[in-house]
Chain A
Amino acid sequence: MMDMTFDVVVVGGGHAGTEAAAAAARCGAKTLLLTHKLETLGEMSCNPAIGGVGKGHLVREIDALDGLMGRAADAAGIHFKLLNRSKGPAVRGPRAQADRGLYRRAVQALLRAQPGLFLVADSAEDLLLDTTGRCIGVVSGNGRRIGAGAVVITTGTFLRGVIHLGEDRTPAGRVGEAPSVGLALALARLGLPMARLKTGTPPRLDGRTIDWAALEAQPGDDPPEPLSWLTQRITNPQVACAITETNEATHAVIRANLHRSAVYGGRIEGVGPRYCPSIEDKVVRFADKGRHQIFLEPEGLPGGEDGDTIYPNGISTSLPAEVQAALIATMPGLSRAVILRPGYAIEYDHVDPRALRPTLELRAAPGLFLAGQINGTTGYEEAGAQGLMAGLNAAALAGGGAANRVLSRAEAYTGVMIDDLVLQGVSEPYRMLTARSEHRLALRADNAGLRLTEQGMAWACVGPERAAAHGAFAKAVAEALAWAREAGATPAQFAAAGIAINQDGRRRSVLEALALPSAADPAPLEALFPRLREMPMAVRTQVEAEALYAPYLQRQAAEMRALEREERLAIPQELDFSAIPGLSTEMRQRLAKAQPATLGSAGRIAGITPAALAALAVHLRRREARFT
């Protein structure tokens, strides 16, 4: 007998858990969010920033499906910057640094305002499975049996977490939080494949002890570009960051103490991220580089609870606390800086995400979903996007339907990430990069709503406010594009307006004209086509992106169609890879581990040879011919 029953139970209140719970509740599922402390819901446990190149794309996708992250970041943002502003729209990444307290409160307010969502401070100590192995609920810390149609686990780095600070090691999740033992044992009983990773965090500095005047200030964008489509205006006061850098003296301190670092002292076995190396790593691996930039980022508004805490971005370390103090003091502006909390490295187990279906449901335990760092990813945005998809699928399953809410690689970075995870597994904490998408020109931060909101409406996870805003925008973009293809001018007219163009007598559309090198200066074009000037910036960005990228996308259309054909050639779940003639043992093992759903996904598995794919394709086509 259950003590209480929900449609969906989400365990964990970080970025994956909050998005999962909110998404499930938006779909109409009666949802319970279990977390140790309600006050830490929405905590930014590391870098106080949301977004960036690739990550900003994910935030916009979460937002397009009516998630929380973008809105919370806008409510808490104190320094906004559109990264890659000088590059094309496809790789521009919106980023916001947030006041940590404001961010938590914004997330908590959004959760409290969500109908059908119940927030309870408790732990999950065990999983309830029925006789078929299906997950039907959890046992809470106070012993209550909580029934659920689906369960989502988003407990981050709690599995065998060990914090390394110099020679000291402490078992923990985050600093000051006890690791959960019961749930870890329950997951261990499922026999899931696990691996070990590590990540690190820099020391936090007291802003009052930094000589800001000696440092180069970095103001944010003015006006700031919001992360959420629904945000009209950023109302928080904005703060500047500053840049300092390491020097030979810093590196000398590090080299002299390398043996005391947890990583170089050989006490860490987990693999760390290549894109976020510790300062020890940087000094060792790039020995010829005499300096490394460090960004000093405030964790809060002046006068607020975190107003004096500074996050020195770029100096993650696991050296002993006194060495950290010594090396910080070598840097310009930091000679008297006081460390509030030392940096540390954390090692943890994660589940090999190849054990998951593309819906993030565990193949070994139907009804049980995993999202966030537990799947080997890093970053709030990666966690949030997984949480959202897991929440949608959990709600669908609990509602009696099929868990089949999947975004493809061609539709979203979220789709790219989950496909990468469930197919390739991870060898380091997985972070989103635009390099990971083969559809980069089409998957932009600026068109996330156009790509996904309609789908979100079909999944019933999008509220009326966003649905209305999306409808109006989509209509405006469609009209603007139709006009830009239709309207145009002759070479003589372009020349008369001062636009350099081939005098070949061929009329060119506005869209073609926007792709000309001379369009870099917009004024003459705007004079010739005043409608361009009247267009809202967001609409115009869509037209300009179309002008810039359409020729490339058309050139690749044939190749993409071939890819889609491969993507459609399904690999039946019951297919025995060992029965396919011509596959080597190694190829069989790789395929069996990743369980690709289509020929296209098999082709993306690292290390699969063209020959193995050919053998698989031949086998599938023969099989298809036999069955149809």
Chain B
Amino acid sequence: MSAADTIFALASGAGRAAVALLRLSGPGAGAALTALAGPLPPPRQASLRRLRDAAGEALDQALVLWFPAPGSYTGEASAEFHLHGGPAVVAAVSEALVAAGARPAEPGEFTRRAFLNGKLDLTEAEGIADLIEAETEAQRRQALRQAGGALSAQVAAWSARLARLLARQEAFIEFEDEDLPAGLNDAVAAEAAALATEMAAQLAAAPRGERLRDGLMVAIIGAPNAGKSSLLNALVGREAAIVSARAGTTRDVVEVRLVLAGVPVTLADTAGLRDAADEIEAEGVKRARRRAEEADVVLAVFAADQPADAETLAAMPTGALVVANKADLAAPGIAGALAVSALTGAGLAELRAALTARAAALAGLTEQATLTRPRHRAAVGEARDWLLGLASAPMPELRAEALRAALRALGRLTGQVGVEAILDLVFSEFCIGK
């Protein structure tokens, strides 16, 4: 996988379509484009060309675009072919490109090259990866924000303020006998505390951003034959789980994906909670309990015609969504439970609304969440911790050390702030020197 190779890939979806877009990137892009479409067209202008293979056979009439390095997405010489969208045309042009020395790209290789060429920073590259993976509209908006540099911009803004603070602290250390402004030190501590607070706020919003990226996990737990699988099927509107009147039918976890409030949600139907004699069922029960612990939302299902079972009551966390199923058979006796009948569909709309509200609250359709990966949270968390510790540092060089460490932590996200940049700030802000 060398970047000396010239790579191509279908940028539009596979299958029949009006137009198919083939992208080509690498040092041989110009030569390959010439081989198929004749002399290079003017940069970044659409030109209509007849594409031919090496034997001179016409392949398609296509729009071609030429992007000389470094003014392209990857930073390399690149070209685009807007082909007529049939699979045969795409296959023929692909073959001709291979004959011209290019090879099909590996997954993510275009973005990787853009990153290596400094076209994207790591957080923007992550954003683009997320954008391609996005299943829902809300995910797409969040990924787009990151790909557009929202995280970079936020980290860059914090870094710039940290750099200014560090410059002041460094001036105070290096130039003792210059008449620096009074109160320089106190201002540093106050601004550091303000920055720590902002970072803490972003960190508090971060789990929502991460949940939106990864999706929510909802575990359905309850006693055997409380109707968990029926409820799951009713919620997704199809027969995803096997339903039978026999208790203990579901022995492993059954997962179904759906979208609520723009958030991808995984519904997990679990084995009924009871003391199972059967070894396989016992394992299923164990897994059900683990699911309940890991889930973002627990849906605790009771049968309205039965007394609430101790196993489910014990396994259900506070804040669980409590459902009394089989409400068609008896009036639910559990306080605060949502009366539902998977059989008749009564109460399903309310249950769906309750789940949607939970999803929206947890994954928050906030425009604020920029820290969408554990890596981001770790770095910002570390920076915040150093800044919080700064207040108790007894010496200016220790405060400077905390600021440096915080800057380095942020630097891991989008790149370092060098000493020269700090010194520039020192000398532009203060009249120093004798």
Binding site for B on A (CB under 8 A): 53-54, 83-84, 87-88, 90-91, 273-277, 282, 285-286, 289, 292-295, 313-314, 316, 424, 433-436, 438, 440-441, 517, 520, 548-549, 552, 555-556, 559, 581-585, 587, 603-604, 606, 609-612, 614-615
Q: Is the CB of A275 within 8 A of B395?
A: no
Q: Is the CB of A314 within 8 A of B394?
A: no
Q: Is the CB of A606 within 8 A of B418?
A: yes
Q: Which of B123-159 contact A (CB under 8 A)?
A: none
Q: Which of B205-261 contact A (CB under 8 A)?
A: none
Closest Cβ of chain B to A546, distance in Å, is 14
Nearest 10 CB-CB pairings of A with B: A582-B116, A581-B3, A274-B427, A88-B395, A314-B434, A286-B431, A313-B434, A276-B433, A435-B170, A275-B433
Closest Cβ of chain B to A143, distance in Å, is 44
Closest Cβ of chain A to B152, distance in Å, is 12
Closest Cβ of chain B to A378, distance in Å, is 11
Q: Mark B245-285, 1 if CB is under 8 A from A, else 0.
A: 00000000000000000000000000000000000000000
Distance in angstroms between the alpha carbons of A581 and B121 in the assembled complex: 17
Partner of B173, one of A435, A555, A612, A614: A435
Chain A CB within 8 A of B177 CB: yes
Q: Is the CB of B397 within 8 A of A91?
A: yes
Distance in angstroms between the alpha carbons of A204 and B432 in the assembled complex: 21
Partner of A276, one of B118, B424, B434: B434
Distance in angstroms between the alpha carbons of A440 and B405 in the assembled complex: 13
Return chain A residues, CB-CB under 8 Å to B117. 582, 584, 611
Q: Is the CB of A274 within 8 A of B433?
A: yes
Closest Cβ of chain B to A435, distance in Å, is 4
Q: Is the CB of A610 within 8 A of B416?
A: yes
Distance in angstroms between the alpha carbons of A39 and B400 in the assembled complex: 45
With CB as the reference atom, state the residue of chain B lying closest to A273.
B433
- Identify which of A91, A277, A604 gathers the most chain B CB atoms within 10 Å of its CB: A91
Chain A CB within 8 A of B191 CB: no
Closest Cβ of chain B to A604, distance in Å, is 8
Distance in angstroms between the alpha carbons of A286 and B181 in the assembled complex: 13
Distance in angstroms between the alpha carbons of A164 and B121 in the assembled complex: 47
Closest Cβ of chain A to B147, distance in Å, is 16
Return chain B residues, CB-CB under 8 Å to A285. 431
Return chain A residues, CB-CB under 8 Å to B419. 435-436
Distance in angstroms between the alpha carbons of A47 and B91 in the assembled complex: 77
Q: Is the CB of A584 within 8 A of B75?
A: yes
Return chain A residues, CB-CB under 8 Å to B432. 274-275
Q: Is the CB of B423 within 8 A of A274?
A: yes
Partner of B3, one of A436, A552, A582: A582
- Decide: A441 near B401, CB < 8 A? Known: A293-B179, A611-B116: yes
Cross-chain pairs A/B with CB under 8 angstroms, 12 sampled: A53-B173, A53-B174, A87-B397, A88-B397, A277-B433, A285-B431, A435-B170, A559-B408, A604-B418, A610-B121, A611-B116, A611-B117
- Decide: A289 near B431, CB < 8 A? Known: A84-B176, A517-B394, A581-B2: yes
Distance in angstroms between the alpha carbons of A282 and B178 in the assembled complex: 13
- Identify which of B3, B395, B424 gathers the most chain A CB atoms within 10 Å of its CB: B395
- Decide: A606 near B420, CB < 8 A? Known: A88-B395, A548-B395: yes
Q: Is the CB of A438 within 8 A of B404?
A: yes
Chain A CB within 8 A of B426 CB: yes
Partner of A435, one of B113, B394, B414, B426: B426
A-B contact count (CB 8 A): 124
Return chain B residues, CB-CB under 8 Å to A295. 177, 434
With CB as the reference atom, state the residue of chain B lying closest to A85.
B176
Distance in angstroms between the alpha carbons of A313 and B433 in the assembled complex: 9
Return chain B residues, CB-CB under 8 Å to A517. 394
Chain A CB within 8 A of B122 CB: yes
- Decide: A293 near B433, CB < 8 A? Known: A435-B426, A581-B2, A611-B117: no
Return chain A residues, CB-CB under 8 Å to B401. 440-441, 552, 556
Known pairs A83-B177, A90-B397 / 11 extra A-B pairs, C-beta < 8 Å:
A83-B176, A91-B396, A285-B431, A295-B434, A433-B423, A435-B174, A435-B422, A559-B408, A582-B3, A584-B118, A610-B414
Closest Cβ of chain B to A512, distance in Å, is 14
Distance in angstroms between the alpha carbons of A604 and B115 in the assembled complex: 20
Return chain B residues, CB-CB under 8 Å to A435. 170, 173-174, 400, 419, 422-423, 426
Distance in angstroms between the alpha carbons of A274 and B4 in the assembled complex: 43
Closest Cβ of chain B to A241, distance in Å, is 10
Distance in angstroms between the alpha carbons of A540 and B243 in the assembled complex: 78
Q: Is the CB of B398 within 8 A of A552?
A: yes
Chain A CB within 8 A of B42 CB: no
Q: Is the CB of B415 within 8 A of A293?
A: no
Distance in angstroms between the alpha carbons of A433 and B173 in the assembled complex: 9
Partner of A88, one of B122, B398, B415, B424: B398
Distance in angstroms between the alpha carbons of A274 and B116 in the assembled complex: 35
With CB as the reference atom, state the residue of chain B lying closest to A555.
B405
Distance in angstroms between the alpha carbons of A611 and B416 in the assembled complex: 11
Return chain B residues, CB-CB under 8 Å to A606. 418, 420
Q: Mark B169-205, 1 if CB is under 8 A from A, else 0.
A: 0100111111100000000000000000000000000
- Decide: A87 near B173, CB < 8 A? Known: A276-B433, A582-B113: yes
Closest Cβ of chain B to A216, distance in Å, is 13
Distance in angstroms between the alpha carbons of A148 and B213 in the assembled complex: 69
Q: Is the CB of B394 within 8 A of A293?
A: no
Distance in angstroms between the alpha carbons of A441 and B401 in the assembled complex: 8
Chain A CB within 8 A of B70 CB: yes
Return chain A residues, CB-CB under 8 Å to B418. 604, 606
- Decide: A548 near B394, CB < 8 A? Known: A581-B3, A582-B113, A612-B118: yes
- Decide: A610 near B423, CB < 8 A? Known: A438-B404, A548-B394: no
Distance in angstroms between the alpha carbons of A344 and B39 in the assembled complex: 62
- Decide: A440 near B116, CB < 8 A? Known: A435-B174, A611-B121: no
- Decide: A84 near B173, CB < 8 A? Known: A90-B397, A438-B404, A610-B416: yes
Return chain B residues, CB-CB under 8 Å to A83. 176-177
With CB as the reference atom, state the residue of chain A lying closest to B119.
A611
- Decide: A610 near B397, CB < 8 A? Known: A91-B173, A295-B434: no
Distance in angstroms between the alpha carbons of A435 and B2 in the assembled complex: 40
Return chain A residues, CB-CB under 8 Å to B70. 584-585
Closest Cβ of chain B to A544, distance in Å, is 11
With CB as the reference atom, state the residue of chain B lying closest to A95.
B177
With CB as the reference atom, state the residue of chain A lying closest to B178.
A293
Distance in angstroms between the alpha carbons of A609 and B178 in the assembled complex: 35
- Decide: A611 near B433, CB < 8 A? Known: A441-B401, A559-B408, A582-B3: no
Return chain B residues, CB-CB under 8 Å to A552. 398, 401
- Decide: A611 near B173, CB < 8 A? Known: A435-B423, A581-B2: no
Q: Is the CB of B116 within 8 A of A433?
A: no
Return chain B residues, CB-CB under 8 Å to A615. 116
With CB as the reference atom, state the residue of chain A lying closest to B419.
A436
Return chain A residues, CB-CB under 8 Å to B173. 53, 84, 87, 91, 434-435
Distance in angstroms between the alpha carbons of A54 and B423 in the assembled complex: 14
Q: Is the CB of A282 within 8 A of B431?
A: yes
- Decide: A292 near B396, CB < 8 A? Known: A87-B173, A433-B423, A435-B173: no
Distance in angstroms between the alpha carbons of A88 and B415 in the assembled complex: 30
- Decide: A610 near B122, CB < 8 A? Known: A88-B395, A584-B70: yes
Q: Which of B1-46 contact A (CB under 8 A)?
A: 2-4
